Amino acid sequence: MTSLAQENHPHKPAAPLDVHISDRYSRQILFRGIGTEGQARLARSQVAIVGCGATGSALAALLGRAGVGTLRIIDRDYVEPSNLQRQSLFDEQDASESLPKAIAAARKIAAFNSQIVVEPKVDDVVPANIEALLEGMEIILDGTDNFETRYLINDFAVKNSLPWIYSAAVGSYAATMNVLPGETACLACIFPDSPRGIVDTCETSGILNSAVNLVASIAATETLKLLVGDETHGTERSDGIKAPHLPKTLRKTLLSFDLWTNEHAEITAAKPRPNCRTCGNRDFIHLAGKGRPESAPARRALAAKAWSSSSSLLSGLTGPPRCGTATGVAA
Ligand SMILES: [Zn+2]
């Protein structure tokens, strides 16, 4: 006999172990920032992860084990041997079968937490399908490898007042920023145009799995803060609307860290940039399909290192890195 959840989600196997929720999450419930109520909120939460390569895998693993009730994992690529060094949800069997990453991820998560719902979507997020793919989600997480998709997510999130978290890793470098529409800067506030200049990708510079895990750990923790909320220490948004569930501990900076050199930078993203195309003028060119580069070289040119200095981060001359192939979505 299968449960309704299993019928709707064929990648959920029959529960191999009857773990009571209070046992499974006991150590997390003990943590003051989560508690019993916070854990219950996590169970009711719905999070989308766009791209399930290295960063997406790590995000999905952390949030799946933490008990986020629904994870929608979107990726159109297939598991390859070169992924195994850093893409923690996949194994040699997945690579030998060339399984779609979204499907392999759902199977792996079901093996360690059969009490949550995972919705695998073998697809690429593009202007034509982003509304359908992200419908009903509370938070969008960035597991992508390209700025073009990130701009598209930014347009969708700002238009629909949904929080999203930018994450990137290449070489030994990691960068992340929370985007809270109506509260903080959006991606286009920080990078008004597609970054040009230094091209640096996982294919040219490689990638350390520790850089991936660092950025995923930070982004997953910010996600937990957003989902659990904080009614006691809620903040008032810039438009005067009370946002009781937005905790003060949410980071409002663009944070970057190079694990090899120990260089790090943090620049403020606390306020939207005046006249920002996206969150100021609400001109959603990427949702309209106008912001997509036409050629692979142009797509590759969207990638760049961003850690050299705070000023270079802001200048738009360099920008966040991307990782993976020009056409793939996951690092
Ligand atoms: Zn903006």
Residue 139: pLDDT above 70?
yes
Which pLDDT value is given to residue 319? 44
330, burial (CB in 10 Å: exposed 0-12, middle 13-18, buried 19+): buried
pLDDT of 273-309, one tens digit each? 999 999 999 999 999 998 765 444 434 333 333 333 3
**Which runs of consecutive H residues, i.e. helices, occur in the chain?**
4-8, 21-24, 26-30, 35-43, 54-66, 92-96, 101-112, 130-134, 147-159, 187-190, 202-205, 209-228, 296-300, 310-315
**pLDDT at res. 314:** 33
Q: What pLDDT shows up at residue 238?
A: 55
CA distance 196 to 92: 37
What pLDDT does 19 receive? 75
pLDDT in the model for residue 292 = 66
Ligand 1 centroid – CA 283 distance (Å): 10
Sequence-distant (6+) residues with CB within 8 A of 44 are: 69
pLDDT at position 302? 37
* Protein residues within 5 Å, CB atom, of ion ligand 1: 186, 188-189, 272, 276, 278-279
pLDDT at 204: 81
How remote is the CA of residue 66 from the centroid of ligand 1, in Å?
A: 31
The pLDDT score that the predictor gives to residue 300 is: 36
Q: What is the mean pLDDT of residues 156-182?
A: 97
9: pLDDT confidence band, cut at 50, 70 and 90?
Answer: low
pLDDT at 16: 56
For ligand 1, the distance from its centroid to the CA atom of residue 275, given in whole angstroms, is 8
Nearest to 107 by CA among 66, 60, 67: 60
CA of 115 to the centre of ligand 1 (A): 37
- Which domains does the chain possess? 4-315 (3.40.50.720)
Contact (CB, 8 A) for 105 and 12: no
In this prediction, residue 25 has a pLDDT band, given cuts at 50, 70 and 90, of very high
Least confident of 127-141, 187-201, 264-278: 187-201
Report the pLDDT averaged over residues 86-112.
Answer: 97
182 Cα to the center of ligand 1, angstroms: 9
Residue 257, pLDDT score: 97
For residue 72, pLDDT over 50 is answered with yes
- Among candidates 258, 252, 253, which has minimal Cα distance to 174? 258
Q: According to the model, what pLDDT value does residue 195 have?
A: 66
pTM higher than the cut 0.95: no
pLDDT in tens, 192-250: 887 665 457 777 889 999 999 999 999 999 999 999 987 555 555 455 544 456 788 99
Identify the bridge partners of residue 168 per DSSP, sorted by sequence position. Answer: 175
How many angstroms separate the alpha carbon of residue 79 from the centre of ligand 1?
35
Query: 278 C-alpha vs ligand 1 centroid, how far in Å?
Result: 5
Convert 271-285 to b/e letters by CB count within 10 Å (16 or more is b): ebbeebbbbeeeebb
Using pLDDT thresholds of 50, 70 and 90, give the confidence band for residue 5: very low
Residue 17 pLDDT class (50, 70, 90 cuts)? low
pLDDT value of position 43: 96
Among 71-85, 114-128, 153-167, 180-194, the minimum mean pLDDT is found in 180-194
Check pLDDT > 70 for residue 311: no
Distance from the alpha carbon of residue 281 to the mean position of ligand 1, in angstroms: 9
Residues in the chain: 331
User: How far, in Å, from the CA of 70 to the mean position of ligand 1?
Assistant: 28
**Mean of the pLDDT values across residues 44-71?**
98
* Average pLDDT, integer, range 70-95: 97
pLDDT tens digits along 50-60: 999 999 999 99
Inter-helix orientation angle 35-43/209-228, to 10°: 100
Q: Report CA(300)–ligand 1 centroid distance (Å).
A: 23
Give the distance, in angstroms, between the CA of residue 290 and the centroid of all CA atoms in the same chain: 23
